[in-house]
A and B are shown apart, each in its own frame.
Chain A
């Protein structure tokens, strides 16, 4: 069964942009975790996770975002999240994670 999660990466001087598309669940979450941790450790920049093509995420994926935020804070950097669809934004609000991350419209 193929992974239903894809990435596109764009780098600028101070910001690393990761475009996430597809679905994040227990099956694909480890791919997301590896990708985020690798980017954070290798670049030590602010990270923008662009989610307009992200169709689905559950608590497994949200937990990985939280882990990535802890990691990025070790380098005194920040995670920005943009393009959240309404159904996913709702999960950030329910879990209170909308207050933890900087969410851009």
Chain B
């Protein structure tokens, strides 16, 4: 059996009614890694913030966006992927301050990057040893 981390990908329509589906999936996946309930709630909120912004912007060329969850031993990596440039201007609006402050406070890393054809937004949360 391969030792590479498992990745779970989901493709969601740019529709508000499916943001709760992303939260539910995130909850199950974070629980699988061993995060406690409080941290799982934080992850759900951060994911929901990005999904809401994506849904708000929509896309001209794609009906769906993708969320990839990579389950590492002590970390959850989450990558939002969109072929459109929707992600590029995701948090450019002054009204996005609330959303940005929440995501950066709740997640360990939060970054926007681009490849030749895709716009990616990545965030991660590391499992902390209980002291």
Chain B residues contacting A4 (CB-CB under 8 Å) are 20
User: Contacts A59-B99, A62-B98, A91-B102: A26 and B45 contacting too (C-beta < 8 A)?
Assistant: no
Cα A99 to Cα B123 with chains together (Å)? 28
Chain A residues contacting B84 (CB-CB under 8 Å) are none
Report whether B55 and A58 are in contact in the complex, using a CB–CB cutoff of 8 Å. Answer: no
Of A27, A63, A87, which contacts B95 at CB under 8 A? Answer: A63
Report whether B101 and A60 are in contact in the complex, using a CB–CB cutoff of 8 Å. Answer: no
| Chain A residue total in the interface (Cβ 8 A) | 18
| Chain B residue total in the interface (Cβ 8 A) | 23
- B interface, over-half SS: helix
- A57 to nearest B CB, angstroms? 8
Chain B residues contacting A105 (CB-CB under 8 Å) are none
- B8 to nearest A CB, angstroms? 21
Cα A60 to Cα B49 with chains together (Å)? 8
Contact string, B8-42, partner A, CB cutoff 8 A, digits 1/0?
00000000110110010000000000000010011
Chain B residues contacting A23 (CB-CB under 8 Å) are 20
What is B's interface to A at a CB cutoff of 8 Å? Answer: 16-17, 19-20, 23, 38, 41-42, 44-45, 48-49, 51-52, 55-56, 95, 98-99, 101-102, 105-106
